[in-house]
Amino acid sequence: MVVSAPGEMTLADLFDKLSTFTLAKEAMEMGIYPFFRALSNSEGTTATFEDKDVVMLGSNNYLGLTTDERVQNAAIEATRRYGTSVTGSRFLNGTLELHLEADRRLAEFVGKEAALVFSTGYQTNLGTVSALLGKNDVVILDKDAHASLVDGVAMSRGQMKRFKHNDIDDLERVLCRVPADAGKLVIVDGVYSMGGDFAHLHEIVAICQQHGARLLVDDAHGLGMAGGGRGTSAHFGLTDQVDLIMGTFSKSFASIGGFIAGSADVIHYVQHHARSLIFSAALPAPNLAAVLAALDIIESEPEHVQKVWKNADYMRNGLKALGYDTFNSETPIIPVKIGEKFRTGLTWLALIEEGVYTNPVVPPATPPNQALLRTSCIATHQQQHLDRALVAFETVGRNLDLIPG
């Protein structure tokens, strides 16, 4: 606090709040701080973490395509032809032929009339949601939906309401309280990034239709993995009944960026109103070329999708057999409940020592005493990788009394 001279107003210091943020420093002092620590020599299935070889169970590289030579070579060739950057936004000088090809092919891939590529998945949600919501509109958002969607609503003039995760009765309760003359947009994740569960899409679609609400499915994690690669809407056979499908390239598509797909009129409107698109540099050619090469592989080689699901079933069943709680996971994302936040950090560190890399997730990202380790399988994992991980989970679990001895 800045204290002024007697008789003058006492002024607050912007930095006062810094003294109350102690959790990270406490974890550092205990030697269990897991964030912002560098990986090297990653091959997708394995990595080197601070000079230790680890099985990678913390990646979103679901199909293992980041190390596929065809994807790498496509990015290299595009770099040589177009350079390393696009020095303008898509609105002006930043649209390349590759952008238009990606727009067209991705729309066709997910079964929509049109699509629009953004520079990141975060910008896709931010731009789409803020562009579509006006001051008389209401967005109804699953409580476990991604932070970028919350930020998109905050950037708009619309009103946000939340419903309990995958709770159809609560969704209907919220919709019933929205004025009939308000524009309504329901937003859910297709596959939830922490729980590894699907949205209850059949019931959600039915409720939206009853209340005249539009539906956006954020399929950042489902795209490439579910529905033969075409995503959650395809998985449930509901593509035609979902208004907007969002996808990212930083998971199964071995790159970075994102896109929104829907009717031609909606995409045209977003294209001319999304500030995160108009006022940001366009996605560079090497990233686009990698996306298109990954799309070629997903379309022509279904065995990659089949393999990641096979690996996921093996790993999830193995963890359950050891006595771990994997919540409601039904996809290659498999959370492992630990409970208390510092115990979660200790478990993460112990697994590193046993040669397995996972992602610790603690409150407020989870409810109190619901801290977890997020694990995920990759199509290129071999059974020996998964067996090595299960042995580590068994050893650590028994040493820390996480599972029966």
**222/25 Cα distance (integer angstroms):** 35
Nearest to 185 by CA among 127, 122, 243: 243
Residue 140 contacts residue 159 (beta carbons within 8 Å): no
User: If you ran DSSP here, which 8-state letter would residue 333 be given?
Assistant: E
Helix (H) or strand (E) holding 175: helix 168-176
Burial of 183 (0-12, 13-18, 19+ CB in 10 A): middle
- pTM score above 0.85: yes
Residues of the chain with CATH 3.90.1150.10: 24-56+302-399
DSSP H helical ranges for 236-353: 264-273, 275-278, 285-300, 303-322, 341-353
Q: What is the CATH number of domain 69-300?
A: 3.40.640.10
Residues of the chain with CATH 3.40.640.10: 69-300
Q: What is the CATH number of domain 24-56+302-399?
A: 3.90.1150.10
Q: Tens-of-pLDDT digits for all 405 residues of the chain?
A: 455 566 677 888 999 999 999 888 988 998 888 899 999 888 789 999 999 999 999 999 999 999 999 999 999 999 999 999 999 999 999 999 999 999 999 999 999 999 999 999 999 999 999 999 999 999 999 999 999 999 999 999 899 999 999 999 999 999 999 999 999 999 999 999 999 999 999 999 999 999 999 999 999 999 999 999 999 999 999 999 999 999 999 999 999 999 999 999 999 999 999 999 999 999 999 999 999 999 999 999 999 999 999 999 999 999 999 999 999 999 999 999 999 999 999 999 999 999 999 999 998 888 888 999 999 999 999 999 999 999 999 999 999 999 987
